[in-house]
Structure formats: C-alpha cells, structure tokens
C-alpha cells in the first residue's frame, strides 16, 4: 500500500475514534442532571471567543452547530484583545488559512491549498479573478468575521474550494454606547478609534465609527496613513418592515511601499540574509488605495416564520500608484547585478450587487423544516492602466547593493507604453436550499444554485471573453447525538470560468471545485465552549493546461488540478470564569502541484487566550501564538529556455508569540499593553513568489480605552 493511502487511512481512523469517543462522552453527559437551566450570553461586550450564529454558509437561520461545514468566527472580543486591526491579522488567527503577504500593500490568502477569491461584506460580494487584497481592510467597522472553509457553492456559485470570508458590519444598538481608544506604538504608530451608537427613538438607531492611523515602519522609508469612516442606520418603517443602511469609506495612503520584494538567493545559489528593515522601494514611490461602499437591506416579515429580504450594495475601489520594482540576482560578494523597474499603475472598479430571497419554516409529516430561495445579480466593471519609462534612462536603472541603498534613485518619467485592462463581469444566480428533519436526531440539507457568468473585455491585449453557466449542488446531513453533540457530512461544488480555447477553438468548460467534508461539533461546559473537528477532501477538475507546440496561438486541454485533504481541529469559548481561548490545529496534504505543495505549510497551530487574574481585580493577561512548519520554494532561471533550476529557498518552521496585558483603572477606563513577536523571530512572510521580505521584529503598543 502506498504512503498516501496509509496517511488517508490513518486520518480516517482518527476521525472514527473521535466520533466514537465523542458519542460515548455525549451518552455520559446525558446521565447527568439536566434539570438545571443552561444560560449562555453572547455579544460583543461578553469577553468570550465563542459565537453561535453565522449566515455565510446558508440562509436558513442555522447556528454553526446546525451547519454541516467548517465555520470559524473571529469575534470582536478577540480583535480587541490582540489589536487585530486589519483583515490580514484576523486571517492569520483563523484555522487553516495561510496569509501570503507578498508585498506591503498586496496580500493573497489561501485555504485547503487554494486561493481564497470570495470576500463578502454582510453576505454580499462577487468572486474575484484573483484573491489579492490591495491596501489593507481595517477591522474597526466589523462586529465579527465569518470564515466558511471549503467550497461555498450554495452561497456564491463561482470561486475556489478554499473558503469564503464574510465581514459583518457593526449594527446600531438601541441603548447608547460609546467607545474610544488611543494607542501609540513602535515606529511612531499612532491610532485613534471612536465608536458611538445611539437610538433616535424606540424604532430607529444610528452608529458612527471613525478611525485614524498614521505610522512609520520597521521597513526603510515605508509610511502609511489610514482614515476610515462608517455610518449605519437601522429602523422599523412598520411593525413588519426593517430598513438598514450602511456607508463605508476607507482610505490608505502608503509612501515607499514594496512592489515585489527582496531577492532570496545570490548568483552562487546561497541564500541572501538582509537586515529585516531592507526594502526595494524608491523614496518617491507611493501606492494609495480608497474604497467607498453603500449597503441597503430591507426586511419584510411575511408571517410569524417567514421573512423576505432585499439587499443592494454599491462598491467603488480606486488605486493610484507610482511603484518601483527590483529584479535580478545579486552577486554574493558585491551585491550588484540587480535592475530597477518603474511603473505607474492606476485602477478603478465598480460593483453593483443585488440579492432578493425569502426564508422561513414549513410543517410536513409532523416536523418543522426550513426553506430559503432567491435570486441574485452581481456586476463588476474594472479598468486598469500601466505606464513605463523607456526614454529617459530612469525607467530601468542599474541598482547598487541593497545592503547600503537608501532608496534614492532618479525619478522616472512614466508616460510610455500605455497598456492595461477593461473588463466587465456579470453574474446572475437563482438558488434554493432546505433543511428537512427526518426525525428528532437527523437533519438533511440540500440545495442547488444556478449561476450564469459573463465576462467581456481584454487585459493587456489578451481577450477575456467568457460565457458559462453551471448548476451547483449542495448536500449535507447533521445527526444530533445529544443537544450538545453532533456529527455531520457535506458535499458541495463551485466553479471558475476559463477563457482558454481547446484544439478545436472552443472555450474550455469551467474548472470545477469539489469539496467533501465530515466532522463532529460539540458545545461543552454549559455551552460556553465550542469544539469542532473536520476531515476534508477538495479537488479541482478541468484546469486548463497548455498543449505543447501550439504557441503563439496556444491551445489547451482540461486536466486535474490540485487535490488536497487534511483535518482541522478548533476549540473556542470560555473555558473557566477567568480563561477564554481560541485554539486550532490544521493539517494539509496537497497533490497535483509541487510548487504549491512546497510553499504551503502542512501543519499550523494557532492559539489565542486571555486570563483574568482572580486576585487582582481588573487585570487580564493574554497570549496569541501562531506556528507553522517549514516551507520551501525551488528557484529557477526563468530567462533560460527551458528554465533552469538554480537553488531552493528554505523557511524553517517558526512561531510568532504576541503578548497582551490589560488593566481596568475604573469601570470605564482601561489601558492595554501589547508586545508583538515577543521572541524577535526573523522569518519570511511568504514563499508564494520567488521573492519575499521579512516580518516585523519585536514591537510594542500602549493604548488607553474608554467605554461608556
């Protein structure tokens, strides 16, 4: 028997033993006295890391325990405790997610071996052609972040079988609340947060959030300036009609950002080892990102158990940049051999998203069941332009050694060789899902989504026309051994349209992503702790692969892509009256792409915990630890034909430890002290590209917090 087969059997054996032992545990707890009333409090002011509800996987009003898929929720409490101020730091703390920070202002995210391309706000979003996030998304406006791992075809249709990230905006409250935080940290990092919510009357409420952050950096020359404004309204127009409106404006201006990163090896094949602060950015370069978003939701109660919901979103993103890239391989003695590359890059996109659905309950065969159905439409148009300097001699200058370079380089005149993209995407869908209770312990979920996807336009001279439609199935089952312990299984698909043509000049069918999962979920310790275990298998089918000797009019055939399997374990909640924690371990095995397999960590451990010191009132300590095992990347001379192997870049296993202490001076005022990368670990952010740069060294922040 081959080793992969042995590995899969060992994982299945582990799952079986956990299910059986969990069932035994559940039966044992059933023998205890159930007469005591169970009370669990959930909300942003409860210092706990457990959240019961998440609507990113279905629209059936199910709890996480009732949903047959892996769902993690990063709560407001966790974000506040460890200053998880952007989506990068949130996803770094999420089970099974890898944050591929390739540059200062562009990041990719991966789960289960695939790029995450589905990002939503309040459940609305369109899959991206690429999963990169430009700039950073600040989290001060979000109540929580929900991450559904695996294919999410029922809710999104198109995308990879990786994960869906849903950022849930803060809602107005019907009691007056106010929060202010002022912090100062390493590299002159200054941050101000203001959050005020108040009722207008008993049926209407508003909320406003303002965030301002200015900071220098451990990286030479890099500085950022962020401004976030958020307004929210919620009100009852009638007893049965609720309207909510949300407005978001985010602006991040970056001076001397990284475009590309550091070379990772010398001409003799040995590894480079620059100072952590080393940057390839010119002193004149910049990258400014802005986003403006409007969300409108109208809910109409149709009966005691049925609600119709209409949602609309308009989103605009803009980028304005002049960037400086460095490429080549330096000499190990002199550091010479690199070349600069300047470019101006402008980008803008517009999204219009609409979703109309009804959800509720119905009775059949003496049981109450759930049903949801609806239609959605998403349009996204984007335009990007690039300009270069081929005439002044400053567009591609020879570089000095990066060890001594101070970023000073003649500024390029970026007016040459205009190129870019002009793309229009349209996605229309109809969907239905239901949960049927076959008996008291067993529920079956089923759904189907029809999606039609159209793309037109060109990107840098390459036609992007795509026109595909797919029917996406969803099947799942949940078996409740007890009120607190259940097992589940699910299967769903997703798809990605392709523009490539086959040997007959026909457009290839979309890539199909298939995701299977089995697992167990349990609520323990009077429902204060939530535990999940999942085993998954995900695969791509129909990936375009170029047929040899068909250039320049290349033709393609459909082949299998990446196949991944593994398991994830997660525990979150209030373990004791004084201890809250979120702990996860994930294992991932990838086949079908050696490069992806090598730069993706096989094992990850993530732990965040806070402890309220019982003998010192108001004092809390916390730790946030993230560990991943070793990764590698084979490096090639891409200018050779065929390309020639040069060396292998290695990133040893490493762990990052952040510590926190919080002290409440009064009922309303507290101070928090954070130490990040406490052990001063030196590590590369990512081997996703052939270049890379180092993570931040040890740093500190002190904040003063006030809450009404």
pLDDT averages per 10-residue partition of the chain, 708 residues:
36 36 38 30 40 63 87 90 93 93 93 91 77 84 92 74 92 96 97 97 97 97 97 96 97 96 95 97 96 96 95 95 96 95 94 94 90 93 94 95 95 94 91 91 93 88 84 93 94 86 84 93 91 94 84 82 94 93 95 93 96 94 97 90 90 97 96 97 95 97 95
3-state secondary structure of 665: coil
The pLDDT of residue 640 is 80
Identify whether the C-beta of residue 570 lies closer than 8 Å to the C-beta of residue 584.
yes
Tokens of 383: 């335009």
Count the neighbouring beta carbons within 10 Å of the beta carbon of residue 9: 11
**701, 693, 698: which is closest to 104 by C-alpha?**
693
**585, 679, 666, 624: which is closest to 80 by C-alpha?**
624
Q: Does residue 412 sit within a domain? A: yes
CA 695, 654, 73: angle at the middle one, nearest 5? 80
**496, 425, 423, 430: which is closest to 454 by C-alpha?**
425
Residue whose pair of structure tokens reads 């949602």 in the numeric block: 311
Residue 611's H or E segment, with its range, is strand 603-612
Q: Does residue 4 sit within a domain? A: no
Identify whether the C-beta of residue 183 lies closer than 8 Å to the C-beta of residue 701.
yes
What's the first-to-final CA gap in the chain, in angstroms? 64
The pLDDT of residue 19 is 35
- Cα 605 to Cα 622: distance, rounded to the nearest angstrom: 17
The pLDDT of residue 188 is 97
State how many domains the chain has. 1
CA 14, 16, 20: angle at the middle one, nearest 5? 120
Q: Does residue 234 sit within a domain? A: yes
Overall residue count recorded for the chain in this entry: 708
Identify whether the C-beta of residue 388 lies closer than 8 Å to the C-beta of residue 420.
no
- Cα 367 to Cα 363: distance, rounded to the nearest angstrom: 6
Query: Is 372 exposed, middle or buried (CB count within 10 Å of its CB: 0-12, 13-18, 19+)?
Result: buried
Q: Does residue 325 sit within a domain? A: yes
Residue 174's alpha-carbon distances to 44, 203, 209, 235, 435, in angstroms, are 14, 8, 16, 10, 33
Q: Does residue 305 sit within a domain? A: yes
Q: Does residue 682 sit within a domain? A: yes
Q: pTM score, two decimals?
A: 0.89
Q: Which domain holds residue 424?
A: 38-707
Count the neighbouring beta carbons within 10 Å of the beta carbon of residue 56: 26
The pLDDT of residue 552 is 72
The pLDDT of residue 365 is 85
Tokens of 558: 């459909």
CATH number at residue 503: 2.40.170.20
Q: Does residue 6 sit within a domain? A: no
What DSSP designation does 640 have? S
- Cα 449 to Cα 361: distance, rounded to the nearest angstrom: 20
DSSP-derived pairing of the beta strands 367-388 and 416-437: antiparallel
What DSSP designation does 186 have? G
Tokens of 324: 């400086």
Q: Does residue 24 sit within a domain? A: no
């Amino acid at each position: 028997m081959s080793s992969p087969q042995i590995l899969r059997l060992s994982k299945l054996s582990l799952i079986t033993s956990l299910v059986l032992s969990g069932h035994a545990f559940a039966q044992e707890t059933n023998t205890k006295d159930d007469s005591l009333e169970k009370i669990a409090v959930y909300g942003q002011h409860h210092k706990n890391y457990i959240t019961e509800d998440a609507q990113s996987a279905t629209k059936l009003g199910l709890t996480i325990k009732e949903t047959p898929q892996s769902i993690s929720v990063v709560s407001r409490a966790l974000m506040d405790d460890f200053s998880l101020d952007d989506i990068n730091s949130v996803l770094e703390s999420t089970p099974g997610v890898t944050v591929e920070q390739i540059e200062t202002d562009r990041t990719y995210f991966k789960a289960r071996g695939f790029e995450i391309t589905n990002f939503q706000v309040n459940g609305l979003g369109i899959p991206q052609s690429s999963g990169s996030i430009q700039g950073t998304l600040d989290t001060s406006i979000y109540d929580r972040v929900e991450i559904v791992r695996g294919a999410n075809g029922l809710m999104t249709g198109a995308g990879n079988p990786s994960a869906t990230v849903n950022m849930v905006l803060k809602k107005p409250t019907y009691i007056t609340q106010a929060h202010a935080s002022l912090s100062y940290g390493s590299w002159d990092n200054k941050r101000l947060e203001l959050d005020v919510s108040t009722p207008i009357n008993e049926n209407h409420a508003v909320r406003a959030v303002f965030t301002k952050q200015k900071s220098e950096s451990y990286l030479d020359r890099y500085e950022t300036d962020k401004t976030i404004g958020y307004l929210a309204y919620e009100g009852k127009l009638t007893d049965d009609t609720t309207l909510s409106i949300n407005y978001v404006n985010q602006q991040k201006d970056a001076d001397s950002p990284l475009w590309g990163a550091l070379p990772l090896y010398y001409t003799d094949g040995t590894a480079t080892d620059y100072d952590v602060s080393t940057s390839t950015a010119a002193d004149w370069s910049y990258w400014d990102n802005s986003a403006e978003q409007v969300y409108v939701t109208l809910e109409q109660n149709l009966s005691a158990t049925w609600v119709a919901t209409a949602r609309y979103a308009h989103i605009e993103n803009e980028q304005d940049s002049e960037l400086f890239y460095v490429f080549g391989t330096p000499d190990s003695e002199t550091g010479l051999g690199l070349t600069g590359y300047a470019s101006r890059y402008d980008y803008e996109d517009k999204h219009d998203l609409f979703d109309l659905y009804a959800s509720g309950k119905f009775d059949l065969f003496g049981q109450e069941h759930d049903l949801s159905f609806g239609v959605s439409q998403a349009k996204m148009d984007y335009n990007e332009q690039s300009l270069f300097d081929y005439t002044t001699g400053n567009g591609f200058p020879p570089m000095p050694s990066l060890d001594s370079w101070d970023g000073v380089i003649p500024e390029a005149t970026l007016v040459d060789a205009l190129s870019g993209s002009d793309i229009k995407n349209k996605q229309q869908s109809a969907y239905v899902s239901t949960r049927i209770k076959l008996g008291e312990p067993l529920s079956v979920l089923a759904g189907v989504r029809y999606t039609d996807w159209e793309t037109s336009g060109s990107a840098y001279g390459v036609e992007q026309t795509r026109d595909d439609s797919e029917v996406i199935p969803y099947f799942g089952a949940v078996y409740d051994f007890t009120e607190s312990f259940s097992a589940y299984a699910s299967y769903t698909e997703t798809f990605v349209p392709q523009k490539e043509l086959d040997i007959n000049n026909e457009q290839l069918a979309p890539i199909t992503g298939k995701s299977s999962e089995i697992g167990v979920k349990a609520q323990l310790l009077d429902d204060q702790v939530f535990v999940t275990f999942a085993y998954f298998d995900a695969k791509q089918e129909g990936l375009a692969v170029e047929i040899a000797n068909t250039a320049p009019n290349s033709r393609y055939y459909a082949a299998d892509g990446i196949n991944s399997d593994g398991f994830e374990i997660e525990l979150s909640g209030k373990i004791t009256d004084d201890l809250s924690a979120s702990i996860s371990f994930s294992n991932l095995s990838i086949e079908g792409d050696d490069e992806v397999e090598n730069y993706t960590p096989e094992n990850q451990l993530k732990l965040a915990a806070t402890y309220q010191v019982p003998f010192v009132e108001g004092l809390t300590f916390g730790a946030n630890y993230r560990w991943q095992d070793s990764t590698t990347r084979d490096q090639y001379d891409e200018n050779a034909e065929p390309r020639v192997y040069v060396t292998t870049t290695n990133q040893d296993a490493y762990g990052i430890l952040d510590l926190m202490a919080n002290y409440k001076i009064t009922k309303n005022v507290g101070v928090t002290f954070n130490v990040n990368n406490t052990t001063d670990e030196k590590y590369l952010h990512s081997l996703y590209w052939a270049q890379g740069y180092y993570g931040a060294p040890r740093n500190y922040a002190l904040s003063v917090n006030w809450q009404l």
